[in-house]
Amino acid sequence: MKFTGRFTVSPESSVFSLVMLPLLGAALVMLAKAFLKGRMAAGMQFTAMLVGLFGPWLALLYTFPLVWSGLTVEGVIGNWSGVVGITFQFDGLAWLINALGYTVAGAAWIYSLGAGPRGPVFSSVFLIQTAALAATAMTADIFNLFVCLEVLGIASYVLVASSEKNGAFLASFSYLMVSASSMVFFLAGLFGLYRLTGSLSYSGISQALLALPDQGGGLAAISLSLIIAAVAMRVAMMPLYGWLPDAHALAPHAVSAVLSGVLIKTPLFALSRIMLIVPLGAAAAQLLGYAGAATAIVAVLVALSQKDAKRLLAYHSISQIGYVVCAWGAALDLGMDTMAGQHLMTAAFLHAFYHALFKGLLFLSIGTSTDRAGSRNVYTLRGAASTLRQSGERLPITLLSFIIAALAISAIPPLNGYASKIAITYSLKGSWQYWVLSAASIGTIASFIKLSRIFWPQPARIRLMATEEPSAVFMPSVATARHSGLPAQIVPGPMTDTSAVKRANLPVGISQAMLALACVASGLAAPWLYGFVLRLLDSAASLGFTSLNPGPALYTADNLLKTLYMVLAGFVLFRLAVSALGSRLLSLVRDRHRGFHGLFLSFAVGLSVLCVWLLLV
């Protein structure tokens, strides 16, 4: 259909409706809360969520032909002068990040309809977070990036605190202090860059730096590393991930899915926009890529040693983001104008996208199972499958979702994780990162064999133990009530959080089924999707590599054989890990609570290493 009248939607407007629609939804939720009561308010809130989370798809569809044909929607917001105004850039990469964000946010919201949280404050903050993701994806101005990151941050502190689990307030507080302080360092870096260049837009900064003698020298290097370190903090990379396990493990399940699936990746891809054009960007990306490989292997070892199911998943998020960062760093190091760089970036994005799908599914299915079973201890919980059946789930959707997601993260064909991991290792073949990532994959398989034991039937001995001591994990609210001294109606009893989940309900099933189908479908359609992402990223660089090299072949005998070996190795590693010696060794690497200052020490160390690296190259 063509618009023939005078009224046409400009590309710029449709791009900004990606940000404005969720914000409008948030405003509607607040209006509903302020002016309406009861069913009317609930109905309006529901409508607002629909507008905010699914309306942007229209804008994405509308802008797709533009992006596909290689155009970039760019300009200055409000048509002001570019010297001071805010520049934005909507290209294939931004389109892809938005598509990723709205997919996961939509599924997480449907899940939250069934399992909570669902208050108006939650809804509006959730929508605002989604809007900030969209804005982060398309900004090309460094101070605007700061504002977007702050909005993302403050929304996620509130969302993490909205959990009623024990320790969620501490997790939220630690996350807030670390990330707010790192944002002050971001400002200091911004000061350095502004002092050197007098400009705030990415293109202005890079042009001014290139014009300077010595390209800005030490000040430019240090300012850049301050900014990169602050963003890397949000991405939870190697030395800076200390805040993540608590925050992600204690948040409500739907929030965990969004935090792990989208929130830690968007800053990374937003950062690539400035790293590509600033001198020294490639060198910084190289170091980050190395840190990513290290993250992948270290985090998977720590994950293998966890006993809390959701903490295990949180460590896997760190490990998987390590894969993404490794490929992303290598891509930026090579440059997006090389074919290998394009393929690596495609692989990185594809893995980020697939990880969002299967990790979201993992958080939702493990969350549902552990809530119904009443325990999250990987070592003692058994028979979760039968618990699910008893709770009235006639179709074993949760169990099937878990199986699909676990197979996907373990890179078993034909699921999506297989395709993206093959894509990453294909481009890295021959380098040391290839071997590190392969080892990390073996660890992933082993730890998911370990996690899947919670669904195995219950042996008699453990059943006895389980009835004797009810799990401690699920009594937090009582403890809170006891300590806070508040009357009982303010602090809800232990069951309020889970009562909704105790019975099988439709939204929980639907959201899991949606994500499970997406995992299978995106696995089957992986070659096509690879070409799609490559083409979109390519159109951003407009070089036309797509036709030259369509990407890796998936189901070669070589790859399948390698997968078989990895599964065998994973099983061996699992046996080792649960053996007496293995569990003693693993308890050494289990996350020591290094305390609050440990978080800052790792930040300071990471920051200074990055500085030294950039000053030396």
Partner 1 sequence: MLERILILLLFLIGFAGIVGMRNIIKKIFGLTIINSAVVLLFIVEGSRIGNSAPIIDAEIGLVVDPVPQALMLTAIVIGVCVTALALALAFRLYKAYGSFDIDEIHRQVHRES
Partner 2 sequence: MSGRARRILFLAQIALCVLLVAAVLIPVFLSSMPWPLSARDYLQANGLAESGASNLVSAIYLGYRAFDTLGETIVLLVAISGTIAIIAHGGAVLAQGYGLPSGTASEPARHLPPKTRTELLEVVTGKLGPVVLVFGVYVMMYGHLSPGGGFQGGVVIASGIVFLALGSRVDASNSLTSPENLVRIESAAFALLLLAASSGIISGSGFFGNPLAGAGLTPVAFIITLNAIIGLKVGAGLGFMCIAMLGRGK
Partner 3 sequence: MIPILLALLIILAVYTLASADLLHGVIALSGISLISALIFYLLRAPDVAITEAAVGAGVSTVVFVWAIRATTRRASPVKNAGSSSAAVLPEDESL
Q: Which residues bind partner 1 (CB under 8 A)?
A: 84, 143, 146-147, 150, 153-154, 157-158, 161, 166-167, 169-170, 172-173, 176-177, 180-181, 184, 187-188, 191, 194-195, 200, 308, 472-473, 476, 479-480, 483-486, 593, 595-597, 600-601
Q: How far is the CB of 163 from partner 2 (least distance, A)?
A: 6
Using CB under 8 A as the binding rule, the residues of this chain from 275 to 294 that contact partner 2 are: none
Contact pick of 143, 379, 426, 571 for partner 3 (by CB under 8 A):
379
Q: Hey, what are 421's tokens?
A: 């991991």
497 binds partner 2 (CB under 8 A): yes
Q: CB of 507: closest distance to partner 2 in angstroms?
A: 14
CA 3 to chain centre: 38
d(CA 498, CA 518): 27
What is the spatial distance between Cα 504 and Cα 605, in angstroms, rounded to a whole number? Answer: 47
We find the least distance from the C-beta atom of residue 263 to partner 1, in angstroms, to be 17
- Contact of residue 592 among partner 1, partner 3, partner 2, none (CB under 5-8 Å per partner type): partner 3
Smallest CA-to-CA distance from 266 within 341, 155, 384 is with 155
Q: Which stretch binds partner 3 (CB under 8 A): 202-210, 433-441, 564-572, 590-598?
A: 590-598
Smallest distance from the beta carbon of 132 to partner 2, in angstroms? 8
The Cα–Cα gap between 564 and 441 comes to 12
- Which string of DSSP letters, residue by residue, matches 260-271? IIIITTHHHHHH
Please report the beta strands in 407-564, taking only residues with DSSP state E, as ranges in sequence order: none
Which part of the chain contacts partner 2 (CB under 8 A), choosing from 326-334, 380-388, 562-570, 598-606? Answer: 598-606
Judged by CB under 8 A, the stretch of 79-87, 89-97, 448-456, 518-526 that binds partner 2 is 79-87
Q: Answer whether 300's CB lies under 8 Å from 447's CB.
A: yes
Q: Report the partner that residue 429 touches, choosing among partner 3, partner 1, partner 2, none (CB closer than 5 to 8 A by kind).
A: none
Nearest CA to 334 among 264, 377, 285? 285
Residue 33 lies near partner 3 (rule: CB under 8 A) = no
Task: Assess 562 for contact with partner 3 (CB under 8 A).
Answer: no
Closer to partner 1 at the Cβ: 532 or 596? 596
Exposed, middle or buried by CB within 10 Å (0-12, 13-18, 19+), for 15? buried
595 binds partner 3 (CB under 8 A): yes
Residue with tokens 């039968």: 386
Told to check if 583 binds partner 3 by CB under 8 A, we report yes
* Binding piece for partner 2, criterion CB under 8 A, among 328-336, 411-419, 567-575, 604-612: 604-612
The neighbour count for residue 370, using CB atoms within 10 Å, is 26
> Which two tokens mark 33?
């809360």
194 versus 571: smaller Cβ distance to partner 1: 194
- 579-586, Cβ contacts within 8 angstroms, sequence gap of 24 or more: 583/305, 586/301, 586/304, 586/305
Contact call for residues 352 and 265 (beta carbons, < 8 A): yes
Interstrand relation of 87-90 and 73-76 (parallel, antiparallel or unpaired)? antiparallel
Q: Which of 614, 510, 605, 557 is nearest to 233 (CA)?
A: 605
Choices 410-418, 483-491, 532-540, 549-557; region in contact with partner 2 by CB under 8 A: 483-491
Q: Which residues pair with 75 in a beta bridge?
A: 88
Which residue spans within 273-344 are E strands per DSSP? none
User: In this chain, which stretch among 341-349, 400-408, 477-485, 582-590 interacts with partner 3, using CB under 8 A?
Assistant: 582-590
Q: Where in 21-60 is the site for partner 2 (CB under 8 A)? A: 23-24, 26-28, 30-31, 33-35, 38, 41-42
| Residues β-bridged to residue 74 | 89
By CB under 8 A, tell whether 103 contacts partner 2: no
Closest approach of Cβ 466 to partner 1, in Å? 17
Q: Shortest approach of partner 1 to residue 86 CB, angstroms? A: 12
Q: Which residue blocks in 198-252 are alpha helix, DSSP H?
A: 202-211, 217-235, 244-250
Answer positive or negative: Cα dihedral of 499, 489, 122, 306: negative
584 binds partner 2 (CB under 8 A): no
Residue 38 partner contact from partner 3, partner 2, partner 1, none using kind-dependent CB cut-offs of 5 to 8 Å: partner 2
556 binds, among partner 2, partner 1, partner 3, none (CB under 5 to 8 A by kind): none
Q: Among 430, 431, 276, which Cα is nearest to 338's?
A: 276
Answer whether 334's CB lies under 8 Å from 340's CB: yes
CA-to-CA distance for 588 and 585, rounded, in angstroms? 5
147 is an interface residue for partner 2 by CB under 8 A: yes
Which residue of 144, 182, 441, 546 would you call a contact of partner 2, by CB under 8 A? 144
SS3 201: strand
Tally Cβ neighbours within 10 Å of residue 144.
19
Q: Binding of partner 3 at residue 592 (CB under 8 A)? A: yes
Decide: 206 and 277 in contact? Cβ < 8 Å.
yes
Task: Please choose which of partner 3, partner 2, partner 1, none residue 546 contacts, taking the beta carbon within 5 to 8 angstroms, the exact cut-off set by kind.
Answer: none
Specify the residue, 380 or 386, whose C-beta has the smaller distance to partner 3.
380
Instruction: Specify the residue, 249 or 325, whose C-beta has the smaller distance to partner 1.
Output: 249
User: Judged by CB under 8 A, which stretch of 146-154, 356-364, 375-383, 579-587 contacts partner 2?
Assistant: 146-154
Q: Pick one of partner 3, partner 1, partner 2, none as the site partner of residue 483 (Cβ within 5 to 8 A by kind).
A: partner 1
Q: Three-state SS for 114? A: helix
On whether the CB atoms of residues 268 and 324 are closer than 8 A, the answer is yes
Cβ of residue 596: shortest distance to partner 1, in angstroms? 5
**How many residues bind partner 2, per CB under 8 A?**
93
**Partner whose binding site includes residue 590, from partner 2, partner 1, partner 3, none (CB under 5 to 8 Å by kind):** partner 3
Helix (H, G, I), strand (E, B) or coil at 88: strand
Residues lying near partner 3 in the complex (CB under 8 A) are found at: 307, 379, 583, 587, 590, 592-593, 595, 597
